Chains A and B, each alone.
Chain A
Amino acid sequence: MRLVPLNAFAATTPMHANAAIIGVGQSAYVRRPEPQQSTHTFMRDAVLAALADAGLGARDADGMAVASMSLAPDTAVDLAWKLGLSLRWLLQDTNGGSSAMNMLGHAVRAVESAAASVVLMVAGDATGLAGYARVASNLNLVTQMHLAPLGHGGPNGVYALVTSRQMKKYGLQKSDYGHIAIAQRAWAAGNPFAVYRAPMTMADYLAAPMVADPLCRYDCVPVVAGAQAMIVAHPDRCPQGRASVRVRAHRASFNYDSQEGDGLATGIATFARELWQEAGVRPEDVDLASIYDDYPAIVLAQLDDLGLIADHDLGRFARREIGERIFPINTWGGMLSAGQPGGPAGGLNGIAEAVLQLQHRAGERQVKDARLAVATGYGMTMYRYGGTAAAAVLERLE
């Protein structure tokens, strides 16, 4: 879909030249963790995988960024301690599905400013189903006080109402969302880590049991246990023969409308113009997108906010660009098929997939000649919808 050569912008575009993503890794994703498995052990597995992928040892890491909804009472420094890491830069992000993208921005700036030379980003959760229900009922005080006592169903109930609103505003049919779930399931077939890889048809989707009208089972992410990790360092430290991935632009938004809107625009709408301007490219230039997919309605909302949907015709985009796989979105299967090990790791999974695609290491799901990607995070269901969002434009460095 690229219309303008990247080098046309290179002379005028400010970007991070001394920091890049050089390695990624993940743990296994499992629906039901074994008794000896915990958030900590999944994070350890992901950390080891990412370090090995980058050709580094644990002693090389002098910075770490951590996000989890089930690490408590431990915090980031406890994880550093248990991993045997002595650090000079440490961050813990608590913004749910946008945590990973927030951490990427912080990590790149940390390496650029020499606050750290190798930053290890890690996110993971292993709540189990009942544990996730407890997390979902206690996301914040407002949820504890005003939503959980209703039996609101956690985020499923919140986004059921948002989805109904979106259907009404844009004239969408239930099947329009089905195209997202089905396309992502097809992508998941090429991802050995995905928990659901069997093909799904529209008949399967429409026959699925309702969870919270209009959301059916396939509109809701399967809760899994697992972790993701990523290494940010100077591009020169990238393993030989592998392209590193540079962040051309990064933006974030927090509490963009005080929960007084309709939730059909996300915080991305507040910074999309700046994001593309700083990146020096246009939405139609990207080869693929990793869009935080806690719910299909939020995928469409973010794509629209990014300027990827022509004429704001969400239904046509779902049916054609996504349904016919004209535009590659969530090529690892997304959280809807690969699983959601908590929002933080789910968000990091999307970034990691963009990295693998840009490094041309995505195996049978590889997007041909991918050079430019956009990735997002969205999260923290504060009351009526998510209040945080972040995005980056990522580029393959030859």
Chain B
Amino acid sequence: MTPGVTIWRCERCRAALFPQRLLCPHCHGDAFVEERAHEAAVEEVSTIHHMLGQADWHPRHIASVRTAAGPRITVGLTDDCAPGTVIDLFEDGTAPYGAARK
């Protein structure tokens, strides 16, 4: 687990992006710097009760969150968070997650 989630900031227009792009959708700049987004606010949540093709499935929580840096991303939630909750972000490999701030 790595604290924070990688986002990409366009060097030319400073737009913050997730996921990674080849060119900035705003100015078409081709250079980006990586930053870590550590905090986000939960906007919508869902519990995945059922997965096609999976007989032994344990429900999981996902959420659409707005990072403090700007981009909205989809994360897995380790807690049952309601919309409005501020969460700490972390990565497991390339997968973004969030946990309610203790």
Q: Is the interface of B mostly helix, strand, loop or mixed?
A: strand
**Distance in Å from the Cβ of B64 to the closest Cβ of chain A?**
5
Residue B72 CB within 8 A of the other chain: yes
Closest B residue by C-beta to A154 = B52
Within 8 A of B (CB), among A88-142: 129-134, 136, 142
Q: Are B46 and A146 in contact (CB under 8 A)?
A: no
A211 touches B62 (CB 8 A): no
Q: Which of B19, B62, B72 contacts A152 (CB 8 A)?
A: B62
Contact with A along B14-56 (1 / 0, CB 8 A): 0000010000010000000000000000011111111111100
Say how far B2's CB is from chain A's closest CB, in angstroms.
14
User: Closest Cβ of chain A: how far from B23's Cβ, in Å?
Assistant: 10
B94/A149 in contact, CB under 8 A: yes
**Contact sample, A vs B, 19 pairs, CB 8 Å cutoff:** A142-B19, A145-B19, A146-B95, A149-B76, A149-B93, A150-B62, A151-B48, A151-B51, A153-B48, A157-B74, A160-B62, A161-B63, A161-B74, A164-B45, A164-B46, A210-B47, A211-B50, A383-B74, A384-B74
Identify 12 new A-B residue pairs, CB closer than 8 A, beyond the known A150-B60, A150-B97, A213-B45: A129-B52, A133-B54, A134-B53, A150-B74, A153-B48, A153-B50, A153-B60, A156-B50, A161-B64, A164-B46, A168-B44, A209-B50
Binding site for A on B (CB under 8 A): 19, 25, 43-54, 60, 62-64, 71-76, 92-97
A residues touching B (Cβ–Cβ < 8 Å)?
Answer: 129-134, 136, 142, 145-147, 149-154, 156-158, 160-161, 164-165, 168, 209-215, 223, 258, 260, 383-384
